[in-house]
């Protein structure tokens, strides 16, 4: 079985790269807060490769960090030179007039065939109904027309708008990132659980079992703290629509890569072997339309 990490990032804050495994340097203002100090440094594909090899992960999905189309082009070129990256979730301005043209330009560039999806930092939008805006919906229609996936990066109070959007665009495949960031540290589950179950009832939505350790108490979390939230997702979506994602290197704020993989294996230990195979690879390959046979042949 090809094991896939369906969600990770890279970034470079310093001097221009010397090797293709390094992204171009860009300003990351979001890393300037005190709680992000431990990950305020460069993270490259070379850094990740040692961790994935140790954890038995064969391929990955590289996900945008900044609202910057040039970053997406950079990530596609990076993916084209990598034996690890199987696809890229990039960024385009969904509200722009020519989303279709921007997507076409990305696909025409180096590594363009590896563009698997698009994401926007919806969690940072002050309007909880941002996804319902007509210009956003128009942009999402262009993503659907391009046969790409849309990653939903939301917090719980944005889930009602996400549900409206998913229902309005049944032709578009959605992937919910980080199980929509429930307040794990406080132990609260509602209204998150009810809203996630409503979203899971829509057949065009998948979910990433990711981002939980950084929503828990980062210094003292346990697998038991995460389990009620993982169980809701696994029960609502079923393993055929749930995929593992590390959220590396953000996850390093609370757990090492290998610790995170082991924890996810524990959280899914009650599934059948077939169910675990879905979560750790097959679901991501299906959702992002990755060629399973080629991935199996290329896996180390």
The string of pLDDT tens digits covering residues 187-225 is: 999 999 999 999 999 999 999 999 999 999 999 999 999
pLDDT at 16: 45
State which H helix or E strand residue 206 sits in.
strand 205-209
- How many CA atoms does the CB half-sphere of 5 hold within 13 Å? 30
Phi-psi category of residue 248: left, alpha or beta, with phi > 0 → left and psi -120 to 50 → alpha:
beta
Q: Is the pLDDT of residue 295 over 90?
A: no
In this predicted model, what pLDDT tens digit does every residue of 218-237 receive, in sequence order?
999 999 999 999 999 999 99
Using a pLDDT cut of 90, give the percent of the chain over it: 89
Count other Cβ atoms within 10 Å, centred on residue 192: 21
pLDDT at 124: 95
Q: Which structure tokens are listed for 66?
A: 């900044």
Q: What is the mean pLDDT of residues 18-27?
A: 62
In this predicted model, what pLDDT tens digit does every residue of 238-278 receive, in sequence order?
999 999 999 999 999 999 999 999 999 999 999 999 999 99
pLDDT at 291: 77
**Residue reference for tokens 């675990």:** 276
Count other Cβ atoms within 10 Å, centred on residue 20: 12
pLDDT at 185: 98
- Binned at pLDDT 50, 70 and 90, residue 297 comes out as low
Q: Is the pLDDT of residue 163 over 90?
A: yes
Q: Is the pLDDT of residue 66 over 50?
A: yes
The mean predicted confidence, pLDDT, of the chain is 94
Long-range contacts of 28-32 (CB under 8 A, 24+ apart): 28/65, 28/66
Q: Please, where are the H alpha helices in the chain?
A: 45-55, 69-80, 99-108, 134-145, 159-168, 192-200, 223-237, 257-267, 273-277, 283-287, 292-298
In this predicted model, what pLDDT tens digit does every residue of 82-129 receive, in sequence order?
999 999 999 999 999 999 999 999 999 999 999 999 999 999 999 999
The DSSP line for 254-286 is: T--HHHHHHHHHHHTTTS-HHHHHIIIIIHHHH
pLDDT at 18: 45
């Amino acid at each position: 079985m090809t094991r896939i990490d369906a969600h990770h990032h890279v970034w470079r804050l310093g001097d221009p790269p010397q090797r293709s495994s390094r992204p171009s340097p860009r300003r990351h203002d979001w890393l300037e807060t005190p709680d992000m100090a431990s990950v305020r440094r460069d993270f490259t594909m070379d850094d990740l490769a040692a961790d994935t090899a140790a954890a038995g992960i064969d391929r990955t999905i590289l996900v945008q960090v900044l609202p910057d189309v040039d970053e997406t082009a950079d990530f596609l070129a990076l993916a084209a030179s990598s034996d690890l990256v199987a696809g890229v979730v990039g960024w385009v301005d969904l509200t722009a007039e020519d989303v279709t043209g921007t997507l076409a330009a990305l696909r025409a560039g180096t590594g363009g065939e590896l563009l698997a999806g698009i994401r926007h930092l919806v969690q940072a939008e002050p309007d909880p109904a941002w996804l319902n805006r007509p210009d956003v919906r128009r942009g999402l229609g262009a993503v659907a027309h391009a046969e790409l996936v849309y990653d939903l990066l939301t917090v719980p109070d944005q889930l009602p708008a996400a549900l409206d959007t998913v229902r309005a665009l049944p032709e578009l495949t959605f992937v919910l990132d980080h199980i929509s960031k429930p307040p794990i540290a406080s132990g609260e589950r509602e209204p998150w659980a009810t809203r996630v179950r409503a979203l899971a009832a829509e057949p065009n939505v998948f979910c990433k079992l990711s981002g939980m350790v950084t929503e828990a108490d980062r210094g003292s979390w346990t697998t038991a703290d995460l389990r009620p939230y993982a169980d809701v997702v696994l029960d609502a979506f079923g393993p055929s629509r749930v995929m593992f994602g590390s959220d590396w290197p953000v996850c390093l704020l609370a757990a090492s890569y290998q610790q995170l993989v082991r924890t996810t294996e524990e959280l899914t230990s009650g599934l059948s072997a077939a169910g675990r195979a879905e979560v750790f690879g097959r679901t991501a390959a299906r959702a992002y339309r990755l060629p399973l046979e080629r991935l199996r042949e290329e896996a180390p």
